[in-house]
């Protein structure tokens, strides 16, 4: 009789163990493991489920030694198993939704990256075109600079004219004495000859603005001359305008020309010596990019 009871208990224990490790539970566990590989952030939750699983197995082993409470414990384990399956299913559904959301985000990012790449290609093409255009403009400016140096080498050697080029900006600097008599704004005949040399070069310029700037020293205008030119502003303006008119008369497009008066406020030398003041009394013809 005792052997028979032990046999029945063994059969019951085997039945209980088979209930916990059924095919349905094992399949859910495999699904949970597969989902955990696709979604790393769910690994922590999965680990907790594994720990719960191990704890349940320990409880099952403990129940095998407690025959008097086996039936009640079996029911409790069955209920726990059902709850675990539902929890696994809920977790699986949640992970699937999350994977779907991330997949959509990946698609959106890929589309955005494609648009950005297309925009980058367009910008690079524009930049390349601008660089080529800039190189062409620099070459043209350099050619104009070289032509002016050749055309005006006599005036340059006398120190009457200086020509400079910097970053596409070309400047022809003429001291007052070359163009004007002292205290006058009308270009003298010798000055017209010098300007004509400039005209011969600039008349072919179509893609630059030509700015004629009038500058003076800081000595105030006095005497009868002050009635006509109350300050250095008026004198520098009159000189710049007269040079501008001459350039127009010689066929340079007036839409490219501008007369600017700076008076005494942009000196290139100190005004405390005769030499410095002479440098400051000047006309500058400046070629700059068109606005």
Mean pLDDT calculated for residue range 59-68: 76
pLDDT band, residue 266 (cuts 50/70/90):
very high
CA distance 78 to 20: 7
Res. 130: pLDDT tops 70: no
**Domain assignments of the chain as residue spans, ordered by start:** 2-111, 152-289
The first and second tokens of residue 79, run together, are 């209920």
- List all residues 6 or more positions away from 102 whose beta carbon is below 8 Å from its beta carbon: 39
Asked if the model's pLDDT at residue 16 lies above 60, the reply is no
Q: Which CATH superfamily is domain 152-289 in?
A: OmpA-like domain (3.30.1330.60)
* Res. 243 pLDDT band, cuts 50 70 90: very high
Q: Would you place residue 142 in the very low, low, confident or very high pLDDT band (cuts 50, 70, 90)?
A: low
Nearest to 207 by CA among 250, 144, 125, 149: 144
Q: What is the mean pLDDT of residues 156-166?
A: 83
Name the DSSP letter for residue 221.
P
Q: How far is CA 199 from the centre of its chain?
A: 42
Q: What is the pLDDT of residue 7?
A: 52
Helix axes 43-64, 2-20, angle to 10 degrees: 170
Q: CA 235 to CA 240: how far, in whole Å?
A: 9
- Residues with Cβ within 8 Å of 98's Cβ and at least 6 positions away in sequence, in order, are 39, 42
Q: How far apart are CA 180 and CA 198, in angstroms?
A: 16
The string of DSSP letters for 135-187 reads HHHHHHHHHHHHHHHHHTHHHHHHTSEEEEEETTEEEEEEEHHHHB-TT--SB
Query: Of residues 291 and 227, which shows the higher confidence score?
Result: 227
Q: How many CB atoms lie within 10 A of CB 231?
A: 14
- The mean pLDDT of 29-53, rounded to a whole number, is 77
pTM of the complete model beyond 0.85: no
């Amino acid at each position: 009789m005792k052997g028979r009871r032990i046999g029945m208990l063994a059969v019951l224990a085997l039945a209980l163990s088979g209930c916990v490790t059924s095919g349905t539970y094992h399949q859910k566990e495999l699904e949970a493991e597969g989902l955990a590989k696709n979604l790393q952030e769910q690994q922590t939750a999965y680990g907790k489920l594994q720990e719960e699983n191990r704890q349940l197995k320990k409880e099952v082993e403990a129940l095998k030694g407690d025959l008097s409470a086996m039936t009640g414990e079996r029911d409790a384990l069955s209920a726990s198993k059902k709850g675990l399956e539902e929890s696994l299913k809920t977790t699986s559904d949640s992970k699937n939704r999350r994977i779907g959301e991330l997949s959509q985000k990946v698609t959106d990012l890929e589309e955005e990256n494609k648009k950005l790449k297309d925009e980058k290609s367009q910008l690079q093409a524009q930049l390349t075109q601008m660089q080529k255009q800039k190189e062409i403009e620099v070459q043209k400016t350099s050619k104009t600079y070289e032509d002016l140096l050749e055309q005006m080498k006599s005036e340059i050697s006398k120190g009457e004219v200086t020509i400079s080029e910097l970053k596409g900006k070309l400047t022809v600097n003429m001291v007052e004495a070359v163009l004007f008599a002292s205290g006058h704004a009308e270009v003298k005949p010798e000055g017209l000859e010098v300007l004509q040399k400039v005209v011969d070069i600039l008349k072919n310029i179509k893609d630059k603005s030509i700015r004629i700037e009038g500058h003076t020293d800081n000595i105030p205008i006095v005497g009868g001359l002050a009635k006509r030119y109350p300050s250095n502003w008026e004198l520098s303006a009159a000189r710049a305008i007269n040079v501008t008119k001459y350039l127009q008369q010689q066929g340079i497009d007036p839409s490219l020309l501008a007369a600017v008066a700076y008076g005494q406020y942009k000196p290139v030398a100190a005004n405390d010596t005769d030499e410095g003041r002479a440098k400051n009394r000047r006309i500058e013809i400046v070629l700059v990019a068109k606005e």
